[in-house]
A and B are shown apart, each in its own frame.
Chain A
Amino acid sequence: MEIKVVKDILGANDQIAGKNRQLFDSNKVFVVNVMASPGAGKTSVIMQTIQRLKGKTRVGVVEGDISSSLDAEAISKEDVPVVQINTGGECHLDANMTASALGDLPLKDIDLLLIENVGNLVCPAEFALGEDIKVLISSTPEGDDKPFKYPLMFHQADAVLINKIDLLPYLKFDVDAFSKTIKGINRKVKIFPVSCTTGEGIEEWVSWLLGQMKKK
């Protein structure tokens, strides 16, 4: 006997993500799922963002890593609430892991929650966490062919930060071609060339982010 099912395999994750979203909304928290490959500069972008928003917006951070709390320790120096999730081998955060970390955060005192996902351009794309926007950081040394290799990630992103643009003179990275490729399959995406070393472009990214928060 054949039974018609037609149900999303990750429906259970999506349900929990929906509950997270309700919790965020009721506490008026704007949530960003920050994704990138390892070493693209997720933690650096988060630190730059916190520094620019000091005194303007109350930021909280969730750090997702397979192991270690190095990133959480670095961020706690910025004097913001931070929770570390160690996935214990899983290559991505999921809605349930995120939910389990929320009890340790003072959500009522947070306006903007930055969730740093595990460094990986494949798996995190599939798992909603309850975020308002997805931000992808792609750094210039990784090469400008990444959208072709990880289309889902680039297709879903609300914003792409091209990090490490201070290295452009030494690399064959075509910013225009890269941006055109992404925009071809993702009409809504905003692209910000930035450098966490020189600070270039960070202001534009942060003011766009503040604009998105106001829209909510």
Chain B
Amino acid sequence: MHELAITQSMLDLVLKQAEEAEAEKVEKINLVLGEMTGVVGRCLQFYFDFLSKGTPAEGATLNFKVIPTTARCRNCHKEFELGEFDWTCPHCQGNNMEIIGGKELFVESIEVE
């Protein structure tokens, strides 16, 4: 449900960037979504199609790069993806880790005309 507010913020940001570049049309939006954010790409697309109507971003393609939830073990310093129901280090079985990926929620670039 938070996708509506997130899509509106994303669209505002994209339109501002496009205006600064004096672009007439936004063709593609490259987004980076961390798995931990729980943001659902197809929801974003659904709201985007609705919210972007009549703006220079109407009809733009949304391209998602999804970043898995990744941790670094504080014991053996190896990096790994967090399991669904097991949050121990697969290398040393430690359970003291730093989250290093999965919280991303940003616009990487836009392609304009």
Is B23 a contact partner of A126 (Cβ separation < 8 A)?
no
Q: Does A70 contact B (CB under 8 A)?
A: no
A149 and B98 alpha carbons, distance in the complex (Å): 18
A127 and B85 alpha carbons, distance in the complex (Å): 26
Q: Does A148 contact B (CB under 8 A)?
A: yes
A9 and B96 alpha carbons, distance in the complex (Å): 30
Sort chain B's interface into a size bin: 35 or more
Is A185 a contact partner of B99 (Cβ separation < 8 A)?
yes
Is B103 a contact partner of A10 (Cβ separation < 8 A)?
no
The interface residues of chain B lying within 8 Å CB-to-CB of A125 are 38
Report the stretch among A43-51, A90-98, A134-142, A190-198 that lies at the interface: A90-98
Q: What is the number of residues of chain A that contact chain B, defined by CB distance less than 8 Å?
A: 35
The interface residues of chain A lying within 8 Å CB-to-CB of B82 are 151, 185
Looking at chain B's contact residues, the main secondary structure is mixed
Cross-interface CB contact of B96 among A90, A91, A148, A187, cutoff 8 Å:
A187
A126 and B108 alpha carbons, distance in the complex (Å): 18
CB-contacts of B1-40 with A (<8 A): 1-2, 4-6, 9-10, 12-14, 17-18, 21, 23, 31, 36-38
Residues on A lying within 8 angstroms of B by beta carbon are: 1-13, 90-92, 94, 122-123, 125-127, 145, 147-148, 150-152, 155, 180-181, 183-185, 187
Some 23 contacts from A to B, beta carbons below 8 A apart, are A3-B23, A4-B109, A5-B106, A5-B110, A8-B105, A10-B6, A11-B13, A12-B9, A12-B12, A13-B9, A90-B4, A123-B2, A126-B105, A127-B2, A127-B5, A152-B38, A152-B103, A181-B87, A183-B95, A184-B87, A184-B95, A185-B99, A187-B96
Residues on B lying within 8 angstroms of A by beta carbon are: 1-2, 4-6, 9-10, 12-14, 17-18, 21, 23, 31, 36-38, 69, 71, 82, 84-85, 87-88, 95-99, 102-103, 105-113
